[in-house]
Amino acid sequence: MIQVQTSAAMAALRAMESVVGARHVFSTDEDRRDYSDHFAPDEMERLHEPSGAVAPATVEEIQAIVRIANENKVPLWPISRGKNFGYGGPAPVLKGSIVLDLSRMKKIEVDPAGGTVLVEPGVSFFDLYDYRQQRNLPFWISVPGNSWGSVAGNALDRGVGYTPYGDHAARICGLEVVLPDGDIVRTGMGAISQGPTWQLYKTGFGPGWDTMFCQSNLGIVTKLGLWLMPEPEAVLGLNIDADKPEDLKWLVDVLGPLRKAGILQQSPSIGNWLRAAATMTTRQEWAEPGNPLSDAAVQAIRDKFQIGWWGVALRVYGPLEIAEPTLGLIRKAFDKQPVWKMAETRWVRGDPPEGSPATGVPVTYPLANANWFGGRGGHISFSPVLPVDGDLALRYFRRNSELHAQFGFDYHPSFAIQDRSMNNINQLLFDQDNPQMVENLDKLFRTLVREAAADGYAEYRTHVGYMDVVADTFDFNNHALRRLNERVKDALDPNGILAPGKSGIWPASARGGRP
Ligand code: ADP
């Protein structure tokens, strides 16, 4: 493992002051803490503490910063708004890296004819939502469950939302990127110096590079094109609750084919009672600290908040002429199932905003779940990708429930049904002030990764503290994928100045003899 020399990092930060002005360089102890991951255990936070941060406002400033990083051989960790909570927030993989904070870059360019937007990294979901509202644009954005972050950073880290445009990385169309040597490239049709099709056609001519800059450390994205969803005439929905843990099987088996056939256009996420409850109450109201939550306590929570053991929100978007019969078809698919509760939702253009991520409205309340255990709340996510299969979901749910209980955690799973896969996103909630829990967190996380890998399943995204652990599970042909990633890394970033360790990709100097 390489170490960042503090003296080199400080020299680089001082040199960066002449580029952006001293007030946009942050290098006090307090600044370092600000740019750490406040949802990670203290020890982990220190392991990923940056040397400081620099916040440029222009592409030219970024190029100058990249030059300084190369001269001083000091790594930069680019963030857009740094709200990647559960996965590290603003914190780098490699301690001592300088956070390149792009949150001052806030330009928004909408093409109303094309239904697209070009955002700079600092544009938050709230910024884009406000922009849309102020101009009454007939387009919706897709926002993640906790929408504090940036449009660009979330798409680049393959975040997800709840509308038909919820696969954010899939809606990227054209990037502007500063490469580790300071060169600027525009991908796809943006490679033409002048032209209107950059945000309209994804791949351009020859190889397509947009995905190469997602979850990678090969470039600093300074502009990101995204398709916007034309505002539908109506959003009709069913909120379905199921009463028993084993109901997960039929929920998955009913929803999978509807999603695969495109009858369901969005990816519904089946969450357990804790996902719903953890934003509304805390554990200490229901159990003594350190004691397991009894079935009676779970039932009491469910009774109080009127929630199922599982709950899922289904939404259909489009003209009423299509949405109404489609919803009828979906409702019929549940006819023979022991649904506990089914409630219809209806929004038609002209109604007041429905106010949830299902209609592209950003929210932050889900982050309240970090308070579940009390103390200073923390959370990290374990997110394996599985085939869409009810039996498998149930088996996984049962085994992971047991593992959580064994290590003293409450299980907070969700299963998002995507076109062809199921993302099992599990929030590992914990109390940072409980040392036993912090110790067990690491053990639980590693056990979950190991057991999933033994069955051939791996994570789609992970916390900065576990990027190597997860990358290790992609082991086909002696980790050929990592070898490819690192060959590209060496070619583009010979000094290893950009986000070393991101997604388990290290520069040659840090591989410790690994090929
Ligand atoms: P958000 O604030 O939207 O939640 P972050 O800024 O925390 O997103 O970014 C998530 C991750 O994506 C970061 O840790 C970083 O690895 C990567 N990333 C974010 N912005 C950029 C960018 N502009 N260029 C390259 N990588 C980025």
State the pairing for strand pair 234-242/310-318: antiparallel
Is the pLDDT confidence value at 515 over 90?
no
* Sign of the dihedral defined by the CA atoms of residues 89, 92, 96, 99, in that order: negative
What are the tens digits of pLDDT across the range 207-216?
Answer: 999 999 999 9
What are the tens digits of pLDDT across the range 47-101?
Answer: 999 999 999 999 999 999 999 999 999 999 999 999 999 999 999 999 999 999 9
Question: Which of these is catalytic: 283, 461, 466, 482?
Answer: 461
Is 461 considered catalytic here? Answer: yes
Chain centroid, CA 48 distance in Å: 19
Query: What pLDDT does 513 receive?
Result: 65
Cα separation of 33 and 17, whole Å? 20
What are the tens digits of pLDDT across the range 114-151?
Answer: 999 999 999 999 999 999 999 999 999 999 988 999 99
CA angle (153 as vertex; 347, 46 as ends), nearest 5: 125
Cα separation of 88 and 36, whole Å? 8
Q: Tokens 């099987």 label which residue?
A: 249
Percentage, residues of the chain above pLDDT 70: 99
Query: What pLDDT does 276 receive?
Result: 96
Question: Which of these is catalytic: 87, 129, 165, 317?
Answer: 87
Is the pLDDT confidence value at 326 over 90?
yes
Cα separation of 89 and 106, whole Å? 19
Query: What pLDDT does 468 receive?
Result: 96
Is 162 considered catalytic here? Answer: no
Query: What pLDDT does 353 receive?
Result: 86
Query: What pLDDT does 195 receive?
Result: 86
Q: How far apart are the CA of 332 and the centre of ligand 1, in A?
A: 42
Question: Which tokens go with 270?
Answer: 């089946």
Cα separation of 467 and 501, whole Å? 7
From the list 435, 416, 462, the residue with the least C-alpha distance to 144 is 416
Question: Which tokens go with 509?
Answer: 């100097």
Is the C-beta atom of 400 inside 6 A of ligand 1?
Answer: no
Is the C-beta atom of 152 inside 6 A of ligand 1?
Answer: yes
What are the tens digits of pLDDT across the range 13-37?
Answer: 999 999 999 999 999 999 999 999 9
Element (H, E) at 235: strand 234-242
Ligand 1 pocket test: pick from 156, 160, 217, 467 the residue with the most ligand atoms within 8 Å of its Cβ.
Answer: 156
Give mean pLDDT, residues 278-289: 94
- Render 175-213 in DSSP notation, one character per residue: EEEE-TTS-EEE-GGGGSSS-S-TTT-SS-SSS--GGGG
Is the pLDDT confidence value at 431 over 80?
yes
Cα separation of 61 and 55, whole Å? 9
Per-residue pLDDT band at 1 (split at 50, 70, 90): low
Which value, in Å, is the radius of gyration of the alpha carbons in the chain? Answer: 23
Give mean pLDDT, residues 155-174: 97
Q: What's the whole-model pTM score?
A: 0.96
Cα separation of 47 and 100, whole Å? 18
Cα separation of 369 and 275, whole Å? 8
Element (H, E) at 451: helix 435-454
Is the pLDDT confidence value at 291 over 70?
yes
Cα separation of 75 and 65, whole Å? 11
Question: Which of these is catalytic: 331, 376, 460, 511?
Answer: 460
